[in-house]
Structure formats: C-alpha cells, structure tokens
Amino acid sequence: MDLNYTPEEQAFQLEVRAFLQASYPADIQEKVAKGIALKKADYVTWQRILNDKGWLVPGWPKEHGGTGWTPVQKYIFEEECATANCLRLVPFGLVMLASVLLKFGTEQQRQQYFPDMLQSNVWWAQGYSEPNAGSDLASLQMRADNKGEHYLVNGTKTWTTHGHYADMIFVLVRTSQEDRKQKGISFLLIDMKANGVSVEPIITVDGMHAVNQVFFDDVKVPVENLVGEEGEGWSIAKYLLQHERTNIAQVPRSKKQIQRLKALASNEQCNGKPLLEDSSFRRKIAEIEVELMALEMTNLRVLSKLSAGEPPGVASSLLKVKGTEVQQAITALLMEAVAYYGFPYKKDVMLDGWQDEPIGPEEAVFLAPHYFDWRKTSIYGGSNEIQKNIMAKAVLGL
C-alpha cells in the first residue's frame, strides 16, 4: 500500500491547480465560497471554460471528448476543484444522460445531443420522480402511448431540479402495462418547449427555487426520442444508479467545508476567546474529522479497486450514506458556530450577497438555510433508508 501520489500524479495535481488559478472566474468563486445562490449563467460560463480546456467530461470515453484520466486523476481533479471553490457541475446531462446515451443510445442520438451538451447550449433535467413514485420509482404512472410517428405523453414529474432552466428533459415513462411494475417502462427525451409541457415552481425550505413540478398534457414526442428499446427503461435506470455515483461521497468538498468551519470558529468569540479554542466545540469538529478520515480512506480504497478495473458496486451506497451524514453534520456545526446569528433570514442576500453591512459574520445568514436545505441530500438520489436496504440485501444477504 502506498498513499502517496506518483510523480506523474503530482505533476497532474500542479497542472490542475495552475489551470484553476488562471481560469476559474473570481466572481463565481466568491459566490461558492460565501454560499450565494448560483445562476444558470454561472454554470454555463464555467462549463464552457472547462470544455475549451477539454476537461468538462472526464467520465466520457476519449473519442467522445473525455480526458482519458485514471480514477486517481479524476479524484485529484475533484479535490483541486473543491479546494478552489469550484461550483459543482449539474450532472443531469453531462454525467447521467451522457452515460445512458453512450451505453444505450444510437450513434445518431449521440451525434445529435453531445455537441450541444458539451457547449452548454442545451440544458437537461432529470424526470424520474412523480408525486406517487419516489423511493418506489418503478411504480411511476406517467404514460407514453405509441401512436406510430410519435408518443402521446400524459402525466407529471416532480422535484425536477432546474426544470425551469431546462431545454430538454429525460424521463421514465410507462409505455405498456405488464405483470411487473418494472416492465413496460421506457426512457424518453422530451423537449421542454413542446406543446403541453408546463412547469410549476416548488419553493424549498430555504425559500429558494431550484425544484419544480412538470406537467405533460398530450405532449407529442417523436418516436426517435426513445432511448434503447421500448420497455428497457428500468434496466437503463438501474445502470445509471451504478454509474452516476463517482463523486458521491463528496470527500473533497467536505474537507473544504471543515476548513471553512475552522476559519469561522476562529473568528467567532466565546467567553473572550476564539470559539475554536473552546474544547467542546473543537471536539465536535474532531468527531466529524474522524468520520471524514475514514470516509476518505474508504473512498480511496474503492477508487483503487476501480483503477484495477473492478466495479464500485454497492460501495456507492456506503459512500452515499456516510458522505451525506458528514456533510449534514458540518452544516449543523457551521450554524451552531454563529449562535444567535443563525436567526436573521435575508433572501435578497442569499441571492446577491450583502449590499450593505453584514449582520454578524458575513456568511452567517447563509448557514441556517444551508443546514435546512442540505437535509435533501439524505432524501434524494435514493434516500439513505433505501441505500441501507440495498446494502442489507446485496451485501449482507438479508
């Protein structure tokens, strides 16, 4: 065993660092560092810079624009991005749909969708969940009836992140009623501007608008927008679950957040001394650091297996549960660090930053909303209960 990066990996790390320093826009970095809400334009700007460099889609095969990096290089890239406060790329098109099209799509579909995806001309959303199909995704009801030239789509999708930004959405729909609910599901690409598509905002606990309910009322979708075979949707969804999960543990980001927590706690006062010197507060940070240390090593072990060509398998469930627990614990401590300054709620500041003198520490106003918002991470992407069910069944044979 050897934890150290090889000389080549070290050189790569320096290359990434230099690139981020030179090319990552300062205004976006400031927003991410402070927690100010990001706009679509911020994502587009950074994605285009990365694309120009050829680093937008490290997960893709080289012939389609991927980087050809090893798993360790990908990890280094992620780590450097987190350290530099890079925004987290929206995975729906660039990671999720792309891996589906690579595996199940036709060459024509890849030709049609990849260039606009890489240039950030077309924005994708993920339409899986429905009001009555959350954890039990296979019970989804949205229908697509094959009318020869087109499908006629009716139903609704909900929790659609960035649905209000999206030009296109990939959805799971029911194309036939079968004996098992997992059968008869298909994977379809729908133009958000098509007649009959409407979007309703859902405001979340932090007062922000990122998720939506999307309604489909007699929407005509050309048959060539089917991905894979009719009825193959569930296999595609399962495939995605194993492949969308490379950075699921978010270790680099949590390390960065711990640094931020320590910086904050060293500026806050407790009985005339920095809060960071308060032994019980320091100990609570340490509790999280211990978890994070274990998580990082587990993540690296999974990575090492990946490098040797083994699939991550159910390790992604473990990484998801532990990763979100650590992230959520950090958001709680950040909020605790500012004591009474967690109370003020300023939506305008969350959107645009302070235009006048901050109330208390500059970042305080973001911390309670962030804590509440981050509860979502143990709910979406397969809830933590569902991940434990998966591990119980698949690992322990229960």
Partner 1 sequence: MNLELSEEMIMLQDMLSKFLNKQYSFEQRQTLSRNGIGYSEDNWQQFADMGLLGVPFDEQYGGFGFGQMGLVVVMEAIGKGLIVEPYLASVVLAGQLIQQAGSEAQKHAILEPLIAGEFKLSFAYVERQSRYNLADVACQAEKQGAQFCINGNKSVVFNSETADKIIVSVRTSGETISQSGISLLLVDKDAAGLSTRHYETVDGLRASELSFNNVMVAEDALVGALGNAYEAIQTVIDSATAAVCAEGIGVIAQLREKTVEYLKTRKQFGQALSDFQVLQHRCVDMFMHEEQMRSLAYLAAIKVSDGEAVESRQSVSAAKVYLGDARTIVAEQAAQLHGGIGVTDELDVVHYVKRLTMLNSLFGDRDFHMQRFCEA
Ligand X SMILES: Cc1cc2nc3c(=O)[nH]c(=O)nc-3n(C[C@H](O)[C@H](O)[C@H](O)COP(=O)(O)OP(=O)(O)OC[C@H]3O[C@@H](n4cnc5c(N)ncnc54)[C@H](O)[C@@H]3O)c2cc1C
- Site residues (vs partner 1, CB under 8 A): 129, 132, 134-136, 139, 158-159, 202-205, 207, 268-272, 275, 278, 280-281, 284, 328, 332, 335-336, 339-346, 359-360, 368-369, 371-373, 375-376, 378-380, 383-385, 388
Query: ∠ CA 250-236-253 to the nearest 5 degrees?
Result: 5
State which amino acid sits at residue 219.
V
Q: Closer CB to ligand X, residue 345 or residue 380?
A: 380
The residue whose Cβ lies closest to ligand X is 134
Q: State the CB neighbour count (10 A cutoff) for residue 125.
A: 27
* 128: partner contacted, choices partner 1, ligand X, none (Cβ within 5-8 A by kind): ligand X
Contacting positions for ligand X (CB under 6 A): 126-129, 134-135, 159-161, 211, 376, 379-380, 383, 385-386, 389
Least distance between ligand X and beta carbon 371 (Å): 14
Q: Closer CB to ligand X, residue 73 or residue 225?
A: 225
Q: Closer CB to ligand X, residue 255 or residue 376?
A: 376
Q: Closer CB to partner 1, residue 228 or residue 342?
A: 342
Least distance between partner 1 and beta carbon 334 (Å): 12
Give the 3-state secondary structure of 254-275.
Answer: HHHHHHHHHHHHHHCEECCEEH
Sign of the CA dihedral running 155, 157, 163, 167:
negative
Sign of the CA dihedral running 310, 314, 317, 323:
negative
Report how far apart, in Å, the C-alpha atoms of 106 and of each of 81, 98, 172, 239, 367 are: 33, 12, 18, 17, 45
What is d(CA 268, CA 285) in angstroms, rounded to the nearest whole number? 15
* 160: partner contacted, choices partner 1, ligand X, none (Cβ within 5-8 A by kind): ligand X
Q: Residue holding tokens 């598509």?
A: 197
- Answer yes or no: are the C-beta atoms of 135 and 94 closer than 8 Å: no
* 297: partner contacted, choices partner 1, ligand X, none (Cβ within 5-8 A by kind): none
* 269: partner contacted, choices ligand X, partner 1, none (Cβ within 5-8 A by kind): partner 1
What is d(CA 166, CA 172) in angstroms, rounded to the nearest whole number? 17
Q: Is residue 161 classed as helix, strand or coil in its secondary structure?
A: coil
Least distance between ligand X and beta carbon 118 (Å): 21
* 104: partner contacted, choices ligand X, partner 1, none (Cβ within 5-8 A by kind): none
- Answer yes or no: are the C-beta atoms of 156 and 130 closer than 8 Å: yes
Q: Closer CB to ligand X, residue 161 or residue 317?
A: 161
* 168: partner contacted, choices ligand X, partner 1, none (Cβ within 5-8 A by kind): none
Q: Closer CB to partner 1, residue 105 or residue 369?
A: 369
